[in-house]
Every structure is written in structure tokens, then in C-alpha cells.
């Protein structure tokens, strides 16, 4: 790993914003993953741009994370710079029907702020355990709602260091994809447009969805949410269940007994356990149904 990079990062950021050999298992909801060479927490859009400029100049790979809710990091870790856009960049402001939020704001926090302001349309996102940045990249959705229903504009940083604001039409939002993902843009902030509603009705919907999550999802174990993408015309969880894999375990990783669409860290799983399990599940489902499951979880590092 390039030794200069540490010095250059410290010339941009404060000491407490730069961590060396930081274990990624403390920064992912799966609670697995080896060390990142450097883990940095910029506090402004300018700092994000400067860190990326340094990485590009020094030819050091980098990766953006939010709260690590859709990420599986290898046991070997990541040889590069992890840039976390999370609690240091999570400002949320509301003007009439619009919510202006930074990329590090949690969806649950934005949903609560929308409810307080009596704005409806974001209830679906209240229980998604991710940040706005990640949600824009993958057009996150749940319970019939998607980010494409509510996004007005997204401001991104391009690989060349330019800041661009993309309109809804320019975002090319599809199932778990967007132009942001395709072009490797970095989300800085977004504007969400909602409708006027009644606080008690919005709260009732959010409470109902929360109840559904608690009863149907294995929230008692670390996981990365839905592990596989939904195949066209099918449900991943149903295919896995039909293949007889409910509770199937590799090392400390398990197909959830509560919801087969989730792989959980049942007992100090390694990233290798999770990956091995996912591969076996995918093969078995293909053998039984002819449908190939694709991971929804992003993988980082060497597997």
C-alpha cells in the first residue's frame, strides 16, 4: 500500500477522521469483514472531493460506504481507502413539500422528519436500514414504494471531480439500479418531493410497516437485508424455501429460519462463510428451479 497516501489524507483531514487498518466488521450491518488500509470520515463535500483527488493521484483504490447495510467485506479486508459518508454528512432540511438531505442521512431519520412535517410518500423507506446515498445508487424500495417515486434531483460527484445535479429523468432509476451506479458517481445530497398528509395517518402506515418487518424479518441477527435480487416473476425467499434451504448453515452463516430471503450472521460468521453459503444457495436453487439468483449485497475485497 502506497505510504504517501496516509500523509496526504492527514493533510486534508483531522487525525480523528483518518483511521489505519480499521476493521470493517464494525462498520457493516453483517458484522463481518477484515481491515481497510485507511478508513476516512469526511465532513464536507469539499473534503470528499479532495480525498478522491488524492486517491486518484496516488493510484489508490477507494470505495464509498454509508452505514454498511448492503455490504459484504472480505475477511482479508480492503486494500485501499474506505470513504464513509454517514453521520458527519447527514443534515436534513425541509422547505414546504421538499426535503433537502445530505447523502449520509439515514432513511429512517428522513422518514421521521417527513412525518413530523406532515409529508406523505416516504413511509415505505422508514424501515430500510440504509443512508440516502446508498438508496439513490440502488433505487432502494420496500412495500410497493421506491426512491424513483419521490426523488426530484440528486447531486453527485463524478469520477473526474465535477459536481453535477441530475434530474429525475437523468437518474435512469430501475430495479436496484441507476445512472449513479452505472457511472460510479458519488451521491452528495438529494431533494425528495412529497405530498401533504396527516401526521396520524402517516404514523399509522409507518407503524404498520414496522410491525410487518419485526414479524417477518430476522432483525435479531446481523444481516445485509435481502441477500438476493428478486428474479423476474419470482420471489428469492420462496425459491430458497422451495429448495429446502430454510435454516441451511455454512459455518456461522445461515439462511434465516424466519425469512429465507435473508442470510444472517448466526454465530460469528466469516465473510467466507457468507459467500460460500450464498454460492451454495444460488446453485441449489438453480438446480431445483432453473432460476439463477443474483446477489443484491455488494461484495468488496478478495473472495
Question: Considering 172, 246, 296, 299, which one is annotated as catalytic?
Answer: 296
pLDDT at 266: 97
Whether residue 193 lies in the annotated active site: no
* C-alpha cell recorded at residue 197: 398528509
Residues of the chain with CATH 3.30.43.10: 4-87
Whether residue 22 lies in the annotated active site: no
pLDDT digits (tens, 9 = 90+) for 116-166: 999 999 999 999 989 999 999 999 998 899 999 999 999 999 988 999 999
Question: Which parts of the chain have pLDDT scores under 50?
Answer: none
pLDDT at 111: 98
Bridge partners for 159 per DSSP: none
pLDDT at 175: 87
pLDDT at 97: 97
pLDDT digits (tens, 9 = 90+) for 192-225: 999 999 999 999 999 999 999 989 999 999 999 9
The answer as to CATH 3.30.43.10 being correct for domain 4-87 is yes
Question: Considering 47, 123, 146, 176, which one is annotated as catalytic?
Answer: 176
What fold is seen in the domain 219-297? 3.90.78
The answer as to CATH 3.30.465.10 being correct for domain 90-201 is yes
Whether residue 11 lies in the annotated active site: no
Amino acid at each position: 500500500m502506497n505510504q504517501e497516501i496516509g500523509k496526504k489524507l492527514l493533510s486534508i483531514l483531522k487525525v480523528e477522521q483518518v483511521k489505519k487498518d480499521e476493521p470493517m466488521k464494525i462498520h457493516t450491518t453483517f458484522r463481518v469483514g477484515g481491515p481497510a488500509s485507511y478508513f476516512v470520515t469526511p465532513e464536507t463535500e469539499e473534503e470528499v472531493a479532495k480525498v478522491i483527488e488524492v486517491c486518484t493521484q496516488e493510484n489508490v483504490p477507494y470505495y464509498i460506504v454509508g452505514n454498511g447495510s448492503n455490504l459484504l467485506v472480505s475477511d482479508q479486508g480492503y486494500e485501499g481507502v474506505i470513504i464513509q459518508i454517514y453521520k458527519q454528512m447527514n443534515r436534513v432540511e425541509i422547505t414546504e413539500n421538499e426535503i433537502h438531505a445530505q447523502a449520509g442521512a439515514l432513511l429512517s431519520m428522513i422518514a421521521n422528519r417527513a412525518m413530523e412535517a406532515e409529508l406523505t410518500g416516504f413511509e415505505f423507506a422508514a424501515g430500510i436500514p440504509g443512508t440516502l446515498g446508498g438508496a439513490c445508487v440502488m433505487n432502494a424500495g420496500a412495500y410497493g414504494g421506491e426512491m424513483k417515486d419521490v426523488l426530484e434531483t440528486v447531486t453527485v460527484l463524478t469520477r473526474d471531480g465535477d459536481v453535477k445535479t441530475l434530474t429525475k429523468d437523468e437518474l435512469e432509476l430501475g430495479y436496484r439500479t441507476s445512472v449513479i451506479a452505472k457511472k460510479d458517481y458519488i451521491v452528495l445530497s438529494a431533494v425528495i418531493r412529497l405530498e401533504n398528509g396527516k401526521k396520524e395517518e402517516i404514523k399509522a402506515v409507518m407503524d404498520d410497516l414496522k410491525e410487518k418487518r419485526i414479524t417477518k424479518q430476522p432483525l435479531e441477527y446481523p444481516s445485509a437485508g435481502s441477500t438476493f435480487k428478486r428474479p423476474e416473476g419470482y420471489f428469492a425467499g420462496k425459491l430458497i424455501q422451495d429448495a429446502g434451504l430454510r435454516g441451511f448453515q455454512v459455518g456461522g452463516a445461515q439462511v434465516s429460519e424466519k425469512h429465507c430471503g435473508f442470510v444472517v450472521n448466526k454465530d460469528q460468521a466469516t465473510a467466507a462463510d457468507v459467500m460460500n453459503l450464498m454460492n451454495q444457495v444460488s446453485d441449489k436453487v438453480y438446480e431445483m428451479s432453473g432460476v439463477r439468483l443474483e446477489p443484491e449485497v455488494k461484495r468488496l475485497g478478495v473472495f
